[in-house]
Amino acid sequence: MINSQTVLYRLRQLVTLDEEGAENALPLCVMCLEDVMCRLRKNADPDDPRVAQAAAALASYRLALRNAADSDGSVSFKAGDVTVTRSPASMIEYAAKMRDEAIIQATDLLTDSSFIFRQVGR
């Protein structure tokens, strides 16, 4: 059965989290799993691995948003003569792509809540 620990495991495959970061991300995993489960079609298998992957990718996106809000600009680290810098915007963009891809992979399991069909009047 898919649970928040499964989602956290998948999240840790997407982003680097230490033990404290994983502990802090667990409530986010719970929320994202609930969001995905609420969108499941009636005949969809709730234990399909794509459910956990979609929840983890959604958690990754929300974690990127939270980290961008908490940071004061670029994230960088230095190892010897090499410095790597990533902007919060690029991290959010990358997480959004992962989220969108995971949702696309699970399309046949989920309902589409962003589409509205209305009649056009004359």
Reference 25, options 34, 38, 44, 12; nearest CA is 12
Domain for residue 117, yes or no?
no
Domain boundaries, position 91:
4-109
Distances (CA, A) of 53 to 72, 88, 115: 30, 23, 23
pTM exceeding the 0.75 threshold for the entire prediction:
yes
Strand partners, 84: 77
Q: Tell the burial category of 57 from Cβ atoms under 10 Å away from its Cβ (0-12, 13-18, 19+).
A: buried
**Per-residue tens of pLDDT for the chain, all 122 residues:** 899 999 999 999 999 999 999 999 999 999 999 999 999 999 999 999 999 999 999 999 999 998 887 766 556 667 777 777 767 788 889 999 999 999 999 999 999 766 666 677 76
Domain for residue 121, yes or no?
no
* Total count of domains within the chain: 1
Would strands 82-86 and 75-79 be described as parallel, antiparallel, or unpaired? antiparallel
